[in-house]
Chain A
Protein backbone atom coordinates (compact mmCIF):
# COMPACT_ATOMS: atom_id res chain seq x y z
CA UNK A 1 0.00 0.00 0.00
CA UNK A 2 1.04 3.56 -0.56
CA UNK A 3 -0.02 6.15 1.93
CA UNK A 4 -1.64 7.96 -0.99
CA UNK A 5 -4.22 5.15 -1.08
CA UNK A 6 -5.71 6.70 2.04
CA UNK A 7 -6.11 10.21 0.57
CA UNK A 8 -9.90 10.00 0.38
CA UNK A 9 -10.19 8.20 3.68
CA UNK A 10 -8.26 10.38 6.11
CA UNK A 11 -9.49 13.92 6.85
CA UNK A 12 -6.96 16.75 6.39
CA UNK A 13 -4.79 14.35 4.45
CA UNK A 14 -1.98 16.81 3.69
CA UNK A 15 -1.53 17.51 7.40
CA UNK A 16 -1.61 13.78 8.05
CA UNK A 17 1.18 13.13 5.53
CA UNK A 18 3.28 15.99 6.88
CA UNK A 19 2.93 14.70 10.43
CA UNK A 20 3.70 11.12 9.41
CA UNK A 21 7.06 12.33 8.11
CA UNK A 22 7.98 13.98 11.39
CA UNK A 23 9.56 12.03 14.26
CA UNK A 24 7.08 11.06 16.94
CA UNK A 25 7.45 12.73 20.34
CA UNK A 26 7.72 10.62 23.46
CA UNK A 27 4.83 10.48 25.92
CA UNK A 28 4.87 9.09 29.42
CA UNK A 29 2.35 7.87 31.94
CA UNK A 30 2.96 8.06 35.69
CA UNK A 31 2.67 4.69 37.41
CA UNK A 32 0.34 5.67 40.24
CA UNK A 33 0.72 2.21 41.77
CA UNK A 34 4.12 3.45 42.98
CA UNK A 35 4.13 7.25 43.07
CA UNK A 36 1.78 10.22 42.75
CA UNK A 37 1.70 12.23 39.56
CA UNK A 38 2.72 15.42 41.36
CA UNK A 39 5.75 13.86 43.01
CA UNK A 40 7.09 12.26 39.85
CA UNK A 41 6.52 15.28 37.64
CA UNK A 42 8.35 17.52 40.14
CA UNK A 43 11.25 15.10 40.25
CA UNK A 44 11.56 14.89 36.49
CA UNK A 45 11.21 18.65 36.06
CA UNK A 46 13.93 19.16 38.68
CA UNK A 47 16.17 17.00 36.49
CA UNK A 48 15.48 19.17 33.45
CA UNK A 49 12.57 17.41 31.75
CA UNK A 50 10.03 19.68 30.09
CA UNK A 51 6.64 18.00 30.19
CA UNK A 52 3.22 18.96 28.92
CA UNK A 53 0.21 17.39 30.55
CA UNK A 54 -2.65 16.54 28.22
CA UNK A 55 -6.15 17.71 29.25
CA UNK A 56 -5.79 16.95 32.94
CA UNK A 57 -5.05 13.29 32.19
CA UNK A 58 -2.19 11.08 33.32
CA UNK A 59 -0.50 11.56 29.95
CA UNK A 60 2.54 13.80 29.50
CA UNK A 61 4.24 14.77 26.28
CA UNK A 62 8.01 15.06 26.72
CA UNK A 63 8.91 18.35 25.06
CA UNK A 64 12.53 18.32 26.13
CA UNK A 65 14.72 16.03 28.20
CA UNK A 66 18.29 16.04 29.53
CA UNK A 67 18.95 12.38 28.60
CA UNK A 68 19.22 10.61 25.26
CA UNK A 69 16.36 8.24 25.99
CA UNK A 70 13.42 8.95 28.31
CA UNK A 71 14.07 5.69 30.13
CA UNK A 72 17.58 6.69 31.26
CA UNK A 73 16.59 7.81 34.77
CA UNK A 74 16.50 6.35 38.26
CA UNK A 75 12.76 6.96 38.31
CA UNK A 76 12.25 4.80 35.23
CA UNK A 77 14.33 2.00 36.69
CA UNK A 78 12.24 2.19 39.87
CA UNK A 79 9.07 1.75 37.81
CA UNK A 80 7.65 5.20 38.49
CA UNK A 81 6.67 5.79 34.87
CA UNK A 82 6.12 4.09 31.55
CA UNK A 83 7.09 5.59 28.21
CA UNK A 84 3.93 5.09 26.19
CA UNK A 85 2.41 6.90 23.27
CA UNK A 86 -0.81 8.65 24.23
CA UNK A 87 -2.83 6.94 21.50
CA UNK A 88 -1.80 3.59 22.92
CA UNK A 89 -3.32 4.47 26.32
CA UNK A 90 -6.79 4.96 24.88
CA UNK A 91 -7.91 1.29 24.43
CA UNK A 92 -7.27 0.52 28.11
CA UNK A 93 -8.97 3.77 29.18
CA UNK A 94 -12.03 2.86 27.12
CA UNK A 95 -12.13 -0.66 28.55
CA UNK A 96 -12.21 1.11 31.91
CA UNK A 97 -11.83 -1.92 34.19
CA UNK A 98 -12.94 -1.59 37.80
CA UNK A 99 -11.08 -2.91 40.82
CA UNK A 100 -12.00 -6.55 41.39
CA UNK A 101 -12.96 -7.44 37.81
CA UNK A 102 -11.67 -10.39 35.80
CA UNK A 103 -9.96 -9.01 32.70
CA UNK A 104 -8.26 -10.68 29.74
CA UNK A 105 -5.55 -8.93 27.72
CA UNK A 106 -5.37 -11.33 24.79
CA UNK A 107 -2.23 -10.10 23.03
CA UNK A 108 -0.54 -8.34 25.90
CA UNK A 109 3.19 -7.96 25.15
CA UNK A 110 5.10 -5.76 25.78
CA UNK A 111 2.67 -4.78 28.52
CA UNK A 112 2.00 -1.07 28.08
CA UNK A 113 -1.76 -1.61 28.18
CA UNK A 114 -1.62 -4.42 30.76
CA UNK A 115 0.21 -2.17 33.21
CA UNK A 116 -2.31 0.62 32.63
CA UNK A 117 -5.17 -1.83 33.25
CA UNK A 118 -3.53 -2.85 36.55
CA UNK A 119 -3.23 0.78 37.54
CA UNK A 120 -6.91 1.39 36.82
CA UNK A 121 -7.78 -1.73 38.84
CA UNK A 122 -5.50 -0.66 41.72
CA UNK A 123 -3.73 -4.02 41.57
CA UNK A 124 -6.93 -5.89 42.57
CA UNK A 125 -9.10 -8.32 40.63
CA UNK A 126 -7.30 -10.36 38.01
CA UNK A 127 -5.66 -9.64 34.69
CA UNK A 128 -4.82 -12.59 32.49
CA UNK A 129 -2.11 -11.26 30.20
CA UNK A 130 -1.55 -13.61 27.29
CA UNK A 131 0.94 -13.67 24.48
CA UNK A 132 2.25 -16.20 22.05
CA UNK A 133 6.05 -16.12 21.99
CA UNK A 134 8.71 -16.59 24.64
CA UNK A 135 10.57 -13.41 23.70
CA UNK A 136 7.45 -11.29 23.84
CA UNK A 137 6.48 -12.82 27.17
CA UNK A 138 9.93 -11.96 28.53
CA UNK A 139 9.35 -8.29 27.68
CA UNK A 140 5.84 -8.43 29.13
CA UNK A 141 7.06 -10.00 32.38
CA UNK A 142 9.86 -7.45 32.71
CA UNK A 143 7.48 -4.51 32.39
CA UNK A 144 4.90 -5.99 34.74
CA UNK A 145 7.62 -6.58 37.31
CA UNK A 146 9.21 -3.14 36.93
CA UNK A 147 5.89 -1.39 37.42
CA UNK A 148 4.98 -3.50 40.45
CA UNK A 149 1.89 -5.13 38.93
CA UNK A 150 0.90 -7.95 41.27
CA UNK A 151 -2.60 -8.85 40.05
CA UNK A 152 -1.56 -10.26 36.67
CA UNK A 153 -1.12 -13.82 35.53
CA UNK A 154 0.90 -14.29 32.35
CA UNK A 155 -0.15 -17.12 30.08
CA UNK A 156 1.34 -18.34 26.83
CA UNK A 157 -0.80 -19.32 23.91
CA UNK A 158 -2.15 -18.52 20.49
CA UNK A 159 -5.00 -16.05 20.99
CA UNK A 160 -6.71 -17.18 17.79
CA UNK A 161 -7.54 -20.57 19.24
CA UNK A 162 -6.47 -21.20 22.82
CA UNK A 163 -8.96 -21.89 25.57
CA UNK A 164 -8.65 -19.69 28.63
CA UNK A 165 -9.65 -20.87 32.08
CA UNK A 166 -12.62 -18.56 32.58
CA UNK A 167 -15.15 -16.20 31.06
CA UNK A 168 -14.20 -12.58 31.55
CA UNK A 169 -15.94 -9.36 32.58
CA UNK A 170 -13.82 -7.41 30.15
CA UNK A 171 -11.44 -8.26 27.31
CA UNK A 172 -8.86 -6.13 25.58
CA UNK A 173 -7.98 -7.36 22.12
CA UNK A 174 -5.21 -5.06 20.98
CA UNK A 175 -4.65 -7.16 17.93
CA UNK A 176 -1.38 -7.78 16.12
CA UNK A 177 -1.50 -5.63 13.00
CA UNK A 178 0.55 -4.15 10.19
CA UNK A 179 1.47 -1.18 12.38
CA UNK A 180 1.01 1.77 10.02
CA UNK A 181 0.28 3.94 13.06
CA UNK A 182 3.78 3.32 14.41
CA UNK A 183 5.47 4.41 11.18
CA UNK A 184 6.64 7.67 12.75
CA UNK A 185 8.64 5.69 15.30
CA UNK A 186 10.05 3.21 12.79
CA UNK A 187 10.49 5.21 9.62
CA UNK A 188 12.79 2.70 7.97
CA UNK A 189 10.12 0.01 7.90
CA UNK A 190 8.33 -0.59 4.62
CA UNK A 191 4.64 0.12 4.36
CA UNK A 192 2.57 -3.07 4.28
CA UNK A 193 0.98 -4.22 1.03
CA UNK A 194 -2.59 -5.32 0.39
CA UNK A 195 -1.85 -9.00 0.97
CA UNK A 196 -0.37 -8.12 4.39
CA UNK A 197 -3.63 -6.42 5.34
CA UNK A 198 -5.74 -9.33 4.07
CA UNK A 199 -3.62 -11.85 5.97
CA UNK A 200 -3.76 -9.84 9.20
CA UNK A 201 -7.50 -9.29 8.85
CA UNK A 202 -8.07 -13.06 8.86
CA UNK A 203 -5.96 -13.52 11.98
CA UNK A 204 -7.74 -10.61 13.69
CA UNK A 205 -11.17 -12.07 12.92
CA UNK A 206 -10.11 -15.40 14.43
CA UNK A 207 -8.88 -13.60 17.54
CA UNK A 208 -12.13 -11.65 17.81
CA UNK A 209 -14.08 -14.89 17.48
CA UNK A 210 -12.07 -16.44 20.30
CA UNK A 211 -12.45 -13.29 22.41
CA UNK A 212 -16.23 -13.38 22.03
CA UNK A 213 -16.20 -17.01 23.16
CA UNK A 214 -14.52 -16.00 26.43
CA UNK A 215 -16.62 -12.92 27.19
CA UNK A 216 -19.39 -13.06 29.79
CA UNK A 217 -22.92 -12.09 28.76
CA UNK A 218 -23.07 -8.32 29.09
CA UNK A 219 -19.27 -8.14 29.10
CA UNK A 220 -17.25 -5.46 27.30
CA UNK A 221 -14.63 -6.10 24.64
CA UNK A 222 -12.35 -3.40 23.29
CA UNK A 223 -10.86 -4.12 19.87
CA UNK A 224 -7.95 -1.97 18.74
CA UNK A 225 -5.08 -1.85 16.28
CA UNK A 226 -2.30 0.61 15.55
CA UNK A 227 -2.87 0.55 11.81
CA UNK A 228 -5.08 2.58 9.50
CA UNK A 229 -6.26 0.12 6.88
CA UNK A 230 -10.04 -0.56 7.17
CA UNK A 231 -9.52 -4.26 6.42
CA UNK A 232 -7.88 -4.58 9.83
CA UNK A 233 -10.35 -2.34 11.61
CA UNK A 234 -13.86 -1.62 10.36
CA UNK A 235 -14.03 -4.93 8.49
CA UNK A 236 -13.06 -6.94 11.58
CA UNK A 237 -15.46 -5.04 13.83
CA UNK A 238 -18.26 -5.43 11.29
CA UNK A 239 -17.54 -9.17 11.27
CA UNK A 240 -17.93 -9.12 15.06
CA UNK A 241 -21.30 -7.40 14.79
CA UNK A 242 -22.71 -9.38 11.86
CA UNK A 243 -21.29 -12.85 12.47
CA UNK A 244 -20.66 -12.97 16.22
CA UNK A 245 -23.65 -10.98 17.42
CA UNK A 246 -21.62 -8.35 19.29
CA UNK A 247 -23.08 -4.87 19.69
CA UNK A 248 -20.97 -1.82 19.04
CA UNK A 249 -21.22 0.79 21.78
CA UNK A 250 -21.35 4.56 21.59
CA UNK A 251 -18.30 6.03 23.26
CA UNK A 252 -17.63 9.46 24.72
CA UNK A 253 -13.97 10.34 24.35
CA UNK A 254 -12.52 13.70 25.37
CA UNK A 255 -9.57 13.32 23.03
CA UNK A 256 -9.54 14.69 19.48
CA UNK A 257 -10.46 11.85 17.14
CA UNK A 258 -12.33 10.97 13.97
CA UNK A 259 -15.10 8.51 13.25
CA UNK A 260 -14.54 5.22 11.48
CA UNK A 261 -14.40 4.79 7.72
CA UNK A 262 -17.82 4.17 6.16
CA UNK A 263 -16.58 2.68 2.89
CA UNK A 264 -13.32 1.77 1.25
CA UNK A 265 -12.67 0.13 -2.12
CA UNK A 266 -16.31 -0.75 -2.66
CA UNK A 267 -16.71 -2.23 0.80
CA UNK A 268 -19.27 -0.66 3.10
CA UNK A 269 -18.75 -0.43 6.84
CA UNK A 270 -21.74 1.75 7.63
CA UNK A 271 -23.04 -0.55 10.35
CA UNK A 272 -20.05 0.23 12.55
CA UNK A 273 -18.21 3.26 11.22
CA UNK A 274 -20.08 5.96 13.16
CA UNK A 275 -19.23 4.39 16.49
CA UNK A 276 -15.58 3.60 15.80
CA UNK A 277 -12.74 5.83 16.91
CA UNK A 278 -9.77 6.78 14.80
CA UNK A 279 -6.87 8.62 16.38
CA UNK A 280 -4.66 10.14 13.71
CA UNK A 281 -1.14 11.50 14.27
CA UNK A 282 -1.99 14.97 12.98
CA UNK A 283 -4.63 15.60 15.65
CA UNK A 284 -2.54 15.62 18.84
CA UNK A 285 0.95 14.61 17.70
CA UNK A 286 0.83 10.91 18.54
CA UNK A 287 0.98 7.61 16.74
CA UNK A 288 -2.19 6.17 15.23
CA UNK A 289 -4.84 3.94 16.78
CA UNK A 290 -8.26 2.63 15.74
CA UNK A 291 -10.66 1.41 18.42
CA UNK A 292 -14.13 -0.06 18.88
CA UNK A 293 -15.98 -0.85 22.10
CA UNK A 294 -18.17 -3.96 21.77
CA UNK A 295 -20.68 -5.55 24.12
CA UNK A 296 -21.91 -9.13 24.27
Chain B
Protein backbone atom coordinates (compact mmCIF):
# COMPACT_ATOMS: atom_id res chain seq x y z
CA UNK B 1 0.00 0.00 0.00
CA UNK B 2 1.35 3.42 -0.86
CA UNK B 3 0.90 6.33 1.50
CA UNK B 4 2.06 9.57 -0.10
CA UNK B 5 3.05 12.61 1.94
CA UNK B 6 1.08 15.81 1.37
CA UNK B 7 1.31 18.40 4.11
CA UNK B 8 -1.02 20.81 2.32
CA UNK B 9 -3.81 19.22 4.39
CA UNK B 10 -2.47 21.12 7.41
CA UNK B 11 -4.12 24.17 5.88
CA UNK B 12 -7.57 22.64 6.33
CA UNK B 13 -7.12 22.39 10.09
CA UNK B 14 -5.59 25.88 10.30
CA UNK B 15 -8.33 27.52 8.23
CA UNK B 16 -11.34 25.56 9.44
CA UNK B 17 -10.51 25.33 13.13
CA UNK B 18 -7.88 28.01 13.72
CA UNK B 19 -5.39 25.44 15.01
CA UNK B 20 -1.91 26.94 15.41
CA UNK B 21 1.57 25.46 15.69
CA UNK B 22 0.29 22.19 17.15
CA UNK B 23 -0.60 21.00 13.66
CA UNK B 24 3.07 21.24 12.64
CA UNK B 25 4.00 18.15 14.62
CA UNK B 26 2.03 15.98 12.18
CA UNK B 27 2.90 14.96 8.65
CA UNK B 28 -0.08 14.15 6.47
CA UNK B 29 -0.28 11.19 4.13
CA UNK B 30 -2.90 10.39 1.50
CA UNK B 31 -4.15 6.90 0.96
CA UNK B 32 -7.45 5.43 -0.29
CA UNK B 33 -9.69 8.51 -0.04
CA UNK B 34 -8.34 9.28 3.41
CA UNK B 35 -5.70 11.52 4.92
CA UNK B 36 -3.61 10.25 7.82
CA UNK B 37 -1.87 12.34 10.49
CA UNK B 38 1.43 10.87 11.63
CA UNK B 39 3.84 12.18 14.27
CA UNK B 40 6.54 9.54 13.73
CA UNK B 41 9.61 9.49 11.52
CA UNK B 42 9.31 8.38 7.92
CA UNK B 43 9.37 4.58 7.68
CA UNK B 44 9.35 2.71 4.41
CA UNK B 45 7.71 -0.69 4.16
CA UNK B 46 5.57 -2.29 1.48
CA UNK B 47 3.13 -3.75 3.97
CA UNK B 48 1.86 -0.64 5.75
CA UNK B 49 -1.83 -0.89 6.63
CA UNK B 50 -2.18 2.20 8.84
CA UNK B 51 0.01 5.26 9.30
CA UNK B 52 -0.79 7.28 12.41
CA UNK B 53 -4.43 8.30 12.75
CA UNK B 54 -6.99 8.85 10.03
CA UNK B 55 -7.55 12.61 10.09
CA UNK B 56 -9.82 13.31 7.11
CA UNK B 57 -12.07 11.47 4.74
CA UNK B 58 -12.00 12.94 1.28
CA UNK B 59 -15.57 13.30 0.02
CA UNK B 60 -17.18 16.22 -1.80
CA UNK B 61 -15.90 18.22 1.13
CA UNK B 62 -13.27 17.16 3.65
CA UNK B 63 -14.74 15.39 6.65
CA UNK B 64 -12.57 15.46 9.79
CA UNK B 65 -12.54 12.32 11.93
CA UNK B 66 -13.61 12.16 15.54
CA UNK B 67 -10.38 10.31 16.39
CA UNK B 68 -8.13 13.10 15.16
CA UNK B 69 -10.31 15.91 16.52
CA UNK B 70 -10.06 14.23 19.91
CA UNK B 71 -6.32 14.87 19.72
CA UNK B 72 -6.12 18.22 18.00
CA UNK B 73 -9.52 19.69 18.86
CA UNK B 74 -8.38 21.15 22.17
CA UNK B 75 -6.36 23.69 20.15
CA UNK B 76 -9.29 24.74 17.97
CA UNK B 77 -10.22 28.42 18.19
CA UNK B 78 -13.16 28.52 15.77
CA UNK B 79 -16.01 26.31 14.64
CA UNK B 80 -16.18 24.85 18.11
CA UNK B 81 -19.50 23.96 19.77
CA UNK B 82 -19.58 23.54 23.55
CA UNK B 83 -22.32 21.37 25.01
CA UNK B 84 -23.71 20.97 28.50
CA UNK B 85 -22.97 17.71 30.25
CA UNK B 86 -26.45 16.34 29.45
CA UNK B 87 -26.28 17.29 25.79
CA UNK B 88 -22.75 15.90 25.64
CA UNK B 89 -24.01 12.49 26.75
CA UNK B 90 -26.77 12.61 24.13
CA UNK B 91 -24.24 13.58 21.47
CA UNK B 92 -22.03 10.63 22.44
CA UNK B 93 -25.04 8.33 22.07
CA UNK B 94 -25.37 9.52 18.48
CA UNK B 95 -28.30 11.87 19.05
CA UNK B 96 -28.66 15.23 17.29
CA UNK B 97 -28.85 18.42 19.37
CA UNK B 98 -31.10 21.39 18.57
CA UNK B 99 -30.37 25.04 19.18
CA UNK B 100 -26.61 25.02 19.62
CA UNK B 101 -25.23 25.82 16.16
CA UNK B 102 -26.33 29.45 15.75
CA UNK B 103 -24.96 30.68 12.41
CA UNK B 104 -22.29 28.00 12.20
CA UNK B 105 -22.44 25.63 9.25
CA UNK B 106 -20.33 22.60 8.37
CA UNK B 107 -18.10 20.35 10.41
CA UNK B 108 -17.30 21.43 13.95
CA UNK B 109 -15.29 20.38 16.98
CA UNK B 110 -17.73 19.40 19.73
CA UNK B 111 -16.63 19.82 23.33
CA UNK B 112 -18.17 19.39 26.74
CA UNK B 113 -16.21 20.93 29.59
CA UNK B 114 -12.57 20.03 28.96
CA UNK B 115 -13.45 16.93 26.91
CA UNK B 116 -13.30 17.00 23.13
CA UNK B 117 -16.15 14.68 22.20
CA UNK B 118 -15.50 14.55 18.48
CA UNK B 119 -16.87 15.68 15.16
CA UNK B 120 -20.30 17.21 14.63
CA UNK B 121 -22.03 18.64 11.59
CA UNK B 122 -23.94 21.89 11.93
CA UNK B 123 -26.79 21.86 9.43
CA UNK B 124 -29.56 23.69 11.25
CA UNK B 125 -29.14 21.34 14.20
CA UNK B 126 -25.97 19.70 15.48
CA UNK B 127 -25.77 16.25 13.92
CA UNK B 128 -23.62 13.77 15.79
CA UNK B 129 -20.85 12.28 13.65
CA UNK B 130 -19.62 9.98 16.41
CA UNK B 131 -18.82 6.60 14.83
CA UNK B 132 -20.76 3.65 16.21
CA UNK B 133 -17.61 2.19 17.78
CA UNK B 134 -17.29 5.26 20.02
CA UNK B 135 -20.96 5.69 20.93
CA UNK B 136 -21.80 5.10 24.53
CA UNK B 137 -24.45 2.69 25.74
CA UNK B 138 -27.62 3.55 27.69
CA UNK B 139 -26.25 2.16 30.94
CA UNK B 140 -22.79 3.70 30.64
CA UNK B 141 -21.56 6.31 33.08
Contact = CB atoms under 8 A, between A and B. Distances in A.
A217 interface: no
Nearest to B130: A77
A152 B52 contact: yes
Interface in A133-177: 137, 141-142, 144-146, 148-157, 162, 164-166
A124 interface: yes
A102 interface: yes
B141 to A, nearest CB: 5
B141 A47 contact: yes
B80 interface: no
B44 A165 contact: yes
Contacts of B52: 150-153
Given A77-B92, A155-B45, A155-B48, A124 B40 contact: yes
Contacts of A162: 47
Nearest to A72: B140
B49 A156 contact: yes
B140 A150 contact: no
A221 B133 CA distance: 34
Contacts, number: 104
B5 interface: no
A73 interface: yes
A34 to B, nearest CB: 8
Interface in A42-84: 47-48, 66-68, 72-74, 77-79
A150 B50 contact: no
A79 B140 CA distance: 15
Given A127-B40, A149-B53, A152-B40, A74 B47 contact: no
A148 B53 contact: yes
Contacts of A137: 49-50
Interface residues of B, number: 34
Contacts of B135: 77
A125 B41 contact: yes
A128 interface: yes
Chain B CB within 10 Å, residue with most, of A72, A79, A153, A156 = A153
A151 B39 contact: yes
B92 A150 contact: no
Contacts of B136: 72, 74, 77
B40 A125 contact: yes
Nearest to B85: A74
A126 B40 contact: yes
Contacts of B45: 128, 153, 155, 164-165
A148 B67 contact: yes
Contacts of B54: 145
A67 B139 contact: yes
Contact of A66 (B26, B71, B133, B141): B141
Nearest to A102: B41
Q: Which residue, B40, B133, B136, B139, has most C-beta atoms of chain A within 10 A?
A: B40
A72 B92 CA distance: 13
A68 B141 CA distance: 11
B70 A144 contact: no
Contacts of A47: 141
Nearest to B117: A78
Nearest to A122: B39
A150 B40 contact: yes
B89 interface: yes
A207 B82 CA distance: 49
Given A124-B39, A148-B70, A155-B47, 12 more contacts: A34-B70, A67-B141, A74-B92, A79-B70, A126-B41, A148-B53, A150-B38, A151-B40, A153-B40, A154-B48, A155-B48, A165-B44
10 contacts: A128-B43, A137-B50, A148-B70, A150-B38, A150-B52, A150-B71, A153-B45, A153-B51, A155-B48, A165-B46
